[in-house]
Amino acid sequence: MTLRLFDETPAPYVAPEVIAPGAMLLRGFALGVDEALLQAVEGVVAAAPLRHLVTPGGYTMSVAMTNCGALGWVSDRSGYRYDAKDPLSGQAWPSMPACFAELALRAAAEAGFDNFRPDACLINRYEPGARLSLHQDKDEGSMDAPIVSVSLGLPAVFLFGGLRRSDCTARYRLQHGDVAVWGGPSRLAYHGVAPLAKGEHARLGAQRINLTFRCAR
């Protein structure tokens, strides 16, 4: 047996860890393709820069966001929605890189959700202190498909609760290469990310990148 008590090196993928019915952590699942994913992120960000969106309530989000795929998630004073165009440029979002679609398909299948073909990928960038408060992903047209969420860079504390905001939340440390998948009975589970702790990641420096794949149509 290998003890990993103080070792921050991500471990290779072993098996899904079920955290709720229909919700799983695939620890280290993205490790083999992490460099390809990060280079693809750079390409997307060059065409559609990360930006801090404003919520309908007028609050500027601490997480910076952009999108790729046919649809992108946006927020402004008029509400949350998916849009085929980047409001900054008026152009279509960059297309979904093949390595994104392939990883999302494989991760969903590993979690028991076959034929996952996302049409939207929200890219989130957290710097130390950035957080995402408890929410449901409920702007998608269908709740049949799961959400697939890939963590890269600095570790974060992922909060995962139940179907009511007041339900207890469990805390999971997500590291570079980890993938979370939630669907079926957990599709509308409340979740969020605690304020990112300071740190330095060997590849990404003081940031965490999260890719969230959705079937938005």
Q: Does 137 bind Mn ion (CB under 5 A)?
A: yes
- Report the sign of the C-alpha dihedral through residues 91, 93, 97, 101, in that order: negative
Residue nearest to Mn ion (CB): 137
Q: Which of 122, 130, 154, 189 binds ligand AKG (CB under 6 A)?
A: 122
User: Which of ligand AKG, Mn ion, none binds 196 (CB below 5-8 Å, type-dependent)?
Assistant: none
HEC readout, 83-123: ECECCCCCCECCCCCHHHHHHHHHHHHHCCCCCCCCCEEEE
214 near 116, Cβ under 8 Å?
A: no
DSSP-assigned beta bridge partners for residue 25? 17, 180
Extract the tokens encoding 118.
């996302």
What is the smallest separation between the CB atom of 120 and Mn ion, expressed in angstroms?
12
> Judged by CB, which is closer to ligand AKG: 53, or 70?
53
CB under 5 to 8 A by kind: which of Mn ion, ligand AKG, none does 211 bind? none
As given in the structure block, the two tokens for residue 78 are 């008029």
121 near ligand AKG (CB under 6 A): no
Token output for 132: 């995402």
Q: Rule CB under 6 A: say whether 216 interacts with ligand AKG.
A: no
Residues of the shown chain interacting with ligand AKG in the complex, contacts defined by CB under 6 A = 122, 124, 132, 137, 149, 158, 191, 193, 210, 212
Interaction site with Mn ion (CB under 5 A): 137
